[in-house]
Chains A and B, each alone.
Chain A
Amino acid sequence: MSIFYTKEHEWIKVVGDKGTIGISTYAADQLGDITFVELPEVGDEIEKGEIFCSVESVKAASDIYAPMSGVITDINDELESAPETVNDSAEDTGWIAKITIIDIDEEELLTTEEYDAYIETLD
């Protein structure tokens, strides 16, 4: 299993050709109290770097970008009734979607250590 991050603060946990996607704890803290998650639909094809879902926090609409290209196989529909789970556990139970990865492309993605160093530069 490998975990990668984007500079836009998404993470993807990769096992074989399966990926689980969410936003980072840092992003969830920055966004503030998340009040709505607009989930993608199972079967949607998502493209690396493109918007695949959106969240609302403090009356702000923010887009979430796909860390890898793939096809959505599952969504965390518990977020529909409990979007605050993303704040409580962004990198575990607050996952957003699972995908079958079309192309395991690690270019421009960061390892955990690289991402931690990157967010240090932002504060």
Chain B
Amino acid sequence: MPDWRLIDTGFLNGYENMALDEALLLNFTEGASPVLRLYGWEPAAVSVGRFQKPIDFLNIDRCNELSLPIVRRITGGGMIYHHLELTYSIICSPEHLGTGRKPTDAYRKICGFLLEFYRRMGLDADFALNLEQGKLGGRENFCFAGNEQYDIIIGGKKIGGNAQKWLKHAVFQHGSIPVENCIERASKLLLDKPENLLESSTSLHELEVNESYSEMFAIMRNSFFAKTVDSELTVNEKNSMQELLETKYSKDSWNNS
């Protein structure tokens, strides 16, 4: 197992964050070192899944009144309100995970490190698969409204969410770890609110975890399933991010079509 590049890109805006995620994936060539990126969002932003149409479920006028950017991800899944959260992304080959090309196997491996992270924080976390969490799977407009097998549950409530994008040679997964629960703010942006939304999700602060971001980053690193080495963005990765920002992620034709 090769060492993983650990890249802490700090807090960026939504367009920059999603452009950088895609830039890392596009620059990941066969034989390259796998990447674990840790980051945050400033200011708050809404991300929507690759195949969602924001106009179908989001109150766009309300987002505009709040100056809340809407950015489309390259991954599947539903809408997420990103603000007070830690976010990770992973760019690697299926071989780096020791799995085949089955998305659920990759979720099991990657979310296993999140489970370890929560447990190291003293939380009683488990996969939804192992608990009585009602119906798994399906398609929800709002990410935190639905449970997949390897979503993480603490005290009967879902924490965070994860999504993937697959290329011929690579798997990409990103996901959020909510520090504050932004569900109420997020739910006010939806045209139709899913039932029991506020009661079905939780956050680190609600679970009385009050470590700083830097402390949590350190715990995430120590929870990871492989050795990591500090790394910086390469010139190619920075250039790709800038190009994607200008030609794709700053455009309504990608974000809001």
Contacts and interface: CB of A to CB of B under 8 A. Distances in A.
Contacts of A31: 102-103
B162 A61 contact: no
Interface string B138-180: 1100010000110000000000011111111000000000000
Given A30-B102, A38-B51, A60 B137 contact: no
B74 to A, nearest CB: 7
B49 interface: yes
Nearest to A58: B103
A30 B94 CA distance: 13
Contact of B163 (A30, A33, A35, A60): A60
B148 A59 contact: yes
A59 B101 contact: no
Contacts of A60: 75-76, 103, 163-166
Given A59-B148, A60-B165, A32 B51 contact: no
B77 interface: yes
B100 interface: yes
Nearest to A36: B51
A71 B168 CA distance: 23
A36 B165 CA distance: 14
Given A58-B137, A59-B76, A59-B148, A30 B168 contact: no
Contacts of A1: none
A54 interface: yes
B9 interface: no
Interface string B57-79: 00000000000000000111110
Interface residues of A, number: 20
A32 B104 contact: yes
Contact of B50 (A33, A56, A65): A56
B15 interface: no
Given A33-B137, A35-B139, A36-B139, A59 B102 contact: no
A63 interface: yes
Interface in B12-70: 49-51
A35 B138 contact: yes
B107 interface: yes
A57 interface: yes
A62 B103 CA distance: 10
Interface in B120-151: 137-139, 143, 148-149
Contacts of B138: 33, 35
B182 to A, nearest CB: 19
B100 A123 contact: yes
A54 B77 CA distance: 14
A44 interface: no
A88 to B, nearest CB: 15
Contacts of B148: 58-59
Contact of B104 (A56, A58, A62): A58
28 contacts: A31-B102, A31-B103, A32-B102, A36-B51, A36-B76, A54-B50, A54-B51, A56-B49, A56-B51, A58-B76, A58-B137, A58-B164, A59-B49, A59-B76, A59-B77, A59-B143, A59-B162, A60-B165, A61-B49, A61-B51, A61-B74, A61-B75, A61-B76, A61-B163, A61-B165, A61-B166, A63-B167, A122-B100
4 smallest beta-carbon distances between A and B, as pairs: A59-B77, A60-B164, A60-B103, A56-B76
Given A33-B137, A60-B163, A61-B163, 12 more contacts: A32-B103, A36-B51, A36-B76, A56-B50, A56-B51, A57-B76, A58-B149, A59-B49, A59-B77, A61-B51, A61-B166, A122-B100
